[in-house]
Structure 1
Amino acid sequence: MRILIVDEMHDSLLPLLAETGAEADYRYDFGRKEAEEVIAGYEGLIIRSKFFIGEDFLDKARNLRFIARAGAGLDLIDVAACDRRGIRVFAANEANRVAVAEHLLGMVLSLFNHINTSGAEIRQHQWLREKNRGEELQGKTVGIVGYGNNGSEAAARFAAFGCRVLVYDKYKTGFGTGQIEEAGLEEIFRHADVFSLHIPLTGETRGWVDAAFLDRFEKAFYFCNVARGEIMHQGDLIAAIRAGKVLGACLDVLENEKLSTMTREQQQDFDFLKDHPRVILTPHVAGWTRESYRKINEVLCRKIAAFINGD
């Protein structure tokens, strides 16, 4: 089996693929055009996020049997088009679950304890203790949407901090424990002090968190998004922050992460978020640790080996 790799990957990938018996061509310098020219000669493709894979690309991939996404989420792959062609698609969602959960907790703790702002103040020779009195996470109610790899890991982390954890998953039941409660959205809207998204970007979830959604929370709360920026209406989130409904936000993702291509409205929204002391921004790196970089290869190669062996 020949596999084309079009994104830069951890050095462990090629040795791991060799153990499966596959022949790999590591062409991280390829763009879409170059990949289209040669893809007919490959049965497998490994890609992170270099370009969208849709009908046009798949029409040229006459011998493709699988696509392996080096990361979590499949929003850059037309999965339905792959299904129609009998092309298996899998991702490495398991690989970054710890990284995402730890990053989320770090953002929330930084926000609650003013770590991001007080550090900047000290560098300006301001020693403002009372202004930076913190808030404890223990005892808070955390509402989580999505109990997949990342959502379940985040739920466990919040539970370890002594939080009440309410989890809603439209497609999963029977996962509740003593510390993690299965809940409906209405229960989350009623009780949540912290709300966190852990769902993929799909046609169903795109733009799901809008003004009407945010208005359903019965008390002011903290909003977290380490999933995909397009799940939320950024302007509606900003309006909720201005109104005091959202007390603060931890955002690892934005509606448009290509900052140089922002519209005027997106730039205005971004300026508000980057300047707000109760908003923490990171550049889509929640799952981007040294450990997860290696784990992605391990997860993908296990799945590729299983596919080759017919499992």
Structure 2
Amino acid sequence: MKVLIVDEMHESIVHMPEELGLEVDYFPNIAFEEVLEKVGDYEGLLIRSKFSINEEFLTHANKLKFIGRAGAGLDLIDLDACKKAGVDVFGANEANKVAVAEHLIGMILSLFHKVNQGNSEVKRGEWNREKNRGEELFGKTIGIIGFGNNGQATAERLAAFGCKILAFDKYKYGFGNHLIQEVSLQEIYEQADVVSLHIPLLSTTYQWVDDEFFNSFKKNIYFCNIARGEIVKLDALANALKSGKVKGACLDVLENEKLKTLTQEQKETFQFLSTQDNVILTPHVAGWSNESYVKINQVLKDKIRMWLEQNA
């Protein structure tokens, strides 16, 4: 069986499928047009985020049996088209959950204790102690929306900080324990001090976070998104920050991450967010640790192995 790899990944990705007896071709810099020319010769395809896979793409891949995504989330892959074509799809969602959780907690702590702000001021020769008085995470009520791999890993670590953890998942139940309370979304609206998104990008979650979402909270909240940027209408977040409904935000993702292609409205919103001391932005790197880079390959290898066993 031949496997085509079309994105740059940790070098171990070549050897791991080979250990399963597969023939691997690794083209990390291949252009999309070349992929269309080659993919028809392969039963397996490994991709990260170079391009989307849709029904038209699959017409060029008549032999394809499985697609593995080196990362969390499958929103770049048309799952219905793959099912129709008989192509199995799996991701490496488990691989970066530790990196995501640690990154998010680092962002929250930096926001609460004004680490970024204080760091910038001291480097400018300013020594403002009272202005940089922090707020403790201990005792806060955290609303986790989405309790998959990343949501669970984040919740468990925040519980260790002495936080009350409320978790809601539209598609799961029975996951509560002595650390985490399984609740309705309404209970998060009523009780949360901090809200963190851990949900996939679907047609039902696209721009789900809007003005109505923020106005549903009883308290003024801190808001975090390390899921997918398109879930949040950034102008709604900007409005909530201006009104004080959102006291601060941690964003690892944006609705348009190609900053050179922002519309005029997006530019204005981004300019506002980027000038706020109570907003921390990072470039979609929450799951991008040195360790997760390798773990992703290990998870893909295990899933390919299981797929081979099931389809032997």
Give me the TM-score of the superposition, normalised by structure 2.
Answer: 0.99
Q: Is the contact made by 1:207 and 1:231 (CA closer than 8 Å) also made in structure 2?
A: yes
Could you say which residue in structure 2 is the equivalent of 1:243?
243
Residue 144 of structure 2: SS of its match in structure 1?
A: strand
Partner SS, residue 309 of structure 1: helix
Map of 1:262 onto structure 2: 262
AA aligned opposite 2:42: Y
The match for 2:146 is: 146
Encode CA deviations 1:196-231: one digit per residue, 9 max, x unaligned: 000000011111111011100001010000000000
User: In 2, Cα distance between the equivalents of 1:32 and 1:59?
Assistant: 14
Q: Give the match's secondary structure for 1:94.
A: coil
Q: CA deviation at 1:306?
A: 1.1
Equivalent in the alignment of 1:275? 275
**2:193 counterpart residue number:** 193
Question: What are the within-5 Å matches in structure 2 for residues 1-311 of structure 1?
Answer: 1-310=1-310
Shift in Å, 1:289: 0.2
Q: Deviations over 1:233-284 (max 9, x none)?
A: 1100100000000000000000000001100110111111111000000000
* Percent of matched pairs sharing the same residue: 57
Whole-angstrom distance in 1 between the partners of 2:185 and 2:110: 27
- Determine helix, strand or coil for the equivalent of 1:222: strand
SS at 2:95 equivalent: helix
Return the alpha-carbon distance in structure 1 between the equivalents of residues 83 and 145 of structure 2. Answer: 27
Query: What SS class does the counterpart of residue 60 from structure 1 fall into?
Result: coil
Q: Distance in 1 between matches of 2:179 and 2:305?
A: 36
Structure 2's unaligned 5+ residue stretches are none
1:19, 1:308 → 2: CA distance?
A: 13
1:4-59 superposed Cα distances (whole Å, 9 cap, x missing partner): 00001101111211111110000111121110011110000000000010011101
1:145/1:169 contact within 8 Å kept? yes
Secondary structure of residue in 2 paired with 1:250: strand
Q: Distance in 2 between matches of 1:66 and 1:25?
A: 15
Count of aligned positions: 311
- Structure 1 SS opposite 2:107: helix
- Residue 80 of structure 1 and its aligned partner are, at CA, apart by 0.6
Structure 2 distance, partners of 1:31, 1:223, is 38
Q: Distance in 2 between matches of 1:186 and 1:289?
A: 34
Q: Is the 8 A contact 1:31 1:50 kept in 2?
A: no
SS of 2:59's partner is: helix
Give the AA of the match of 1:7: D
Long gaps (5+) in structure 1: none
CA distance in 1, matches of 2:280, 2:49: 24
Residue type of the partner of 1:288?
W
Post-superposition CA distance 1:152-211 (Å, at most 9, x none): 000001101000000000110110011100010111011100000000000111111110
Cα root mean square deviation, aligned? 0.7
Task: Supply the AA of the counterpart residue of 1:301.
Answer: K
TM-score normalised per structure 1 = 0.99
Q: Distance in 1 between matches of 2:42 and 2:275?
A: 48
Distance 1:16 1:301 in 2: 6
Return the letter of the residue paired with 2:17: L
CA distance in 1, matches of 2:106, 2:162: 16
Distance 2:254 2:158 in 1: 24
Secondary structure of the residue aligned to 1:49 is coil
Q: Work out the CA distance in 2 between the residues paired with 1:51 and 1:127.
A: 47
